[in-house]
Amino acid sequence: MRRTLCIAIGLLLFSASCKESVKKEIGTAPVELKIEPEAIQTAYDLNKFELIPLEFNDLSLVGAIDKLIVEKDKIYILDKEIAKSILCFSIAGKFLFKINSIGDGQGKFSKPFDLVLFDESLQILDIIQKKILVFDLEGNYKHEKPIPFEEQVVNFFPLNQDFTAFHMDGRSFGSEETEFIRVLGNKDSTTTTQGVSDIGSTDAYQIPIEFSKHKGQVSFLHAWTDTIYKISEEGIEPAYLLNFGANRLDEKVKKLPLMDMRKFIMENPYVFNAANLVENDKYLSFQWARSAEGFANSEEQKYVSYYNKSTGRLVHFPLSENWLGNVNLQGPLYGTEDWDKLSKEIRDELIKENGGVLSGDLDTGNPILIKYKLEKE
């Protein structure tokens, strides 16, 4: 049976139609974060990690992790394509409940396209039935609310009780420029602000985590835009600019027809931001990818970067060839790979650290989470 390893970074994790259209982007100069490939390191604190095997039974099978949220003593997993469910586990990996309300009508969804935790509730996006379903943190259905416009949505995030930000699906615009973010009032569905312009076809590369909320402030990073925005009902402010240098996928490339764009990526060097934005008191984290000679000629390399907000230090760590040996991680929130690809030394040490109790659990087929921290600076 295939055994899957999932990685969670504890450092970041535990801690009706529109009536009007208004665009507001605040003119504050963003902080530039320069990504320097030569500064890439492999520094993790190997003395501070733990394994969290997810309990396996007939109800708790995780087919894929499309999004993972850790909140207090619970782990919430979105599996939108295989289990078509939200699964909840304790922080120790014990299965608690599953939301699998497939169907039409009140309290049902076609499939869970996105999951947001907000104000002691789980909010699930159904773009087919054009609604957001609200459950409490124990999985009990509370109510639902319609998406108040006809255009397609990629994902969403409540700014507060009164306003919600929607990421509009830009793919219908193709190589034309479009505004990805629309902020609506929840009571009257009025658009208060919109913005974050880029080429619509870049939405072909959808990333699970584009919104991040910390201390009441919502941030947004769309793959390929290279700008981290602060979003509120009053405006959209560019906060950080990601400088990837000469091989960044620029406007000219992004305007190519989708197949031509993919052909370019196969044959030419590239670097692009891949979102997966996470923020806590100390760090801002995001993911990016590069290829030295094009995807067809050299293996794509993926990295996770951490910006220390107090010191201004920016470090970049590889998601392959790291402290886990041959395991390929998938960013600041989670990764998927076979347990068997861990080196024997690491396998033996992990089992030893956990009193040998994991040896049987590894055959269940459910993921194992690894919580770890960065090396001390």
Distance, CA of 88 to chain centre: 18
User: Residue 238 pairs with which residues in a beta bridge?
Assistant: 229
Q: Residues 53, 8: contact at Cβ < 8 Å?
A: no
Alpha-carbon distances, residue 52 vs 147, 163, 367, 373 (angstroms): 37, 36, 9, 15
DSSP label of 240: E
Q: Residues 183, 159: contact at Cβ < 8 Å?
A: yes
CB-facing half-sphere around the CA of 74: CA atoms within 13 A? 18
pLDDT of 83-140, one tens digit each? 999 999 998 889 999 999 999 999 999 999 999 999 899 999 999 999 999 999 999 9
Distance, CA of 217 to chain centre: 17
Q: List the structure tokens of 306.
A: 């951490």
Please state, in angstroms and rounded to a whole number, the distance separating the CA atoms of residues 52 and 109: 30
How confident is the chain (377 residues) per 10-residue block, as mean pLDDT? Answer: 41 34 54 82 60 85 86 89 94 92 94 93 95 95 93 93 94 89 91 92 83 91 92 93 88 89 91 88 88 88 87 83 64 45 58 52 64 61
**Amino acid symbol at 339:** W
pTM of the model: 0.83
Q: Residues 218, 211: contact at Cβ < 8 Å?
A: yes
Q: List the structure tokens of 191.
A: 């658009």
Q: What is the CATH number of domain 4-374?
A: 2.120.10
- Domain regions of the chain by residue span: 4-374
